[in-house]
Amino acid sequence: MKHLSEIQISIESLLKNVRALKAICPDEADFIAVVKGNAYGHGLAPIVEVLEPVVDGFQIDDVEELQELRKHTSKRALVLGYVPCSALEEAVRLGGELAIYDVQRLPELQRIAEDLGVRPKLHLKLDALLGRQGLLPDDVPAFLHRLAEFPGLDVIALYGHFANIEDTTDLTHANAQVDIFNKVHSSLVSAGLSQLSRHLSATSGLMVYEPSVRGNNLVRVGVGLYGLYPSASLARTQARLELEPVMRWTSHLAQVKFLPAGHPVGYGLTFVTWRPTLIGIVPQGYSDGYDRGLSNAGEVLIHGKRCPIVGRIAMNMFAVDLTHAPEAKAEDEVVLLGDQGSDRITAEELAARLGTINYEVVTRVSPLLPRLLL
């Protein structure tokens, strides 16, 4: 046993997912791997190590992630989250392509361009019926007018984000977003930004939208890389892609013991044995990203058998009922997420128990747990 608990990353599954998603990607589009949020909890360093030869670039959220990314690759790096003015110079120095959606940062970016002798590459974020980060369409002309005052800046792309494309078969809103996006793009080209590239799609957009259109020359692929579908409906309609989960989360039993009938288990006395019960202690908890909401609700795999969690999940440990795995002993493997034997616990299963989405389940796994490429 090398590690008490670890996150195992399947290289084979990761590369298989890339091939499947590239197969539906427009030929002219750059394939950008989204590795923000510690590569959706999978570990930025190992994921970039595997993907670096097979993708055109990476997307992260902020300058701290850019600094980490640059330890592993010199490829394109799209920094599409918030970068404060104080961090802009570092982001430009590291070759980050930055989101821009206001005029406040333009003077500082111009100063940086002059000081460093480079032209910062900017992606103009359009808020097309999303109501989040971005420039509203009506504000684009004023932005362009101000942009003309800063000749050292290079706006290379217009981009947006779908608001509701993965959870519905009604694409009315998505089509309205695309119409606005196309009109703004055309106006920018007419204004002299003739080489402006464009991108709209994350994994869900790639699955639903991109295969039927042309014109976008970049896709930002995130959750699908990791073998997770953006929604249950897309898991059904896009099942032919056969995406495979990349993450397997394992630990080991720290203790095995019998508790007598009528014995409490864990904080709050939320579970009391009703018969003599074989109990196993798993040394993981909510500080590791294993959600407290799984208390008395989740299951783990031990010897290929489902063992229910009993009592509350604590910061560093929880208890399981080993009735279905009576042969279990201390240091046996416990699977919190992933497969063991013929069974598998999925991120979707945990998300359903927690009332959340698979993205959150994997992204919240502690970065302190070791990530191992297998």
Residue 166, classed as helix, strand or coil, is coil
Distance of alpha carbon 311 from alpha carbon 305, whole angstroms: 19
How far from each other are the two terminal CA atoms of the chain, in whole angstroms?
A: 15
Catalytic: which of 36, 75, 121, 125?
36
Nearest to 343 by CA among 303, 309, 283, 284: 303
Distance of alpha carbon 54 from alpha carbon 57, whole angstroms: 9
Distance of alpha carbon 98 from alpha carbon 79, whole angstroms: 5
Active site residue 40: no
R_g of the chain, CA atoms, integer Å: 24
In 86-111, which positions are buried (b, 16+ CB within 10 angstroms) versus exposed (e)? ebbbebbeebbbbbbbebebbebbbe
* Residue 246 · residue 13 · CB < 8 Å: yes
Taking the C-alpha atoms of 327, 332, 336 and 338 in order, what is their torsion angle to the nearest 10 degrees?
-90
Catalytic: which of 40, 267, 286, 305?
267
Burial class (CB in 10 A: 0-12, 13-18, 19+), 28: exposed
Distance of alpha carbon 283 from alpha carbon 133, whole angstroms: 40
* Residue 361 · residue 260 · CB < 8 Å: no
Active site residue 267: yes
Distance of alpha carbon 61 from alpha carbon 63, whole angstroms: 7
Structure tokens at 199: 């991108």
Annotated catalytic residues are: 36, 267
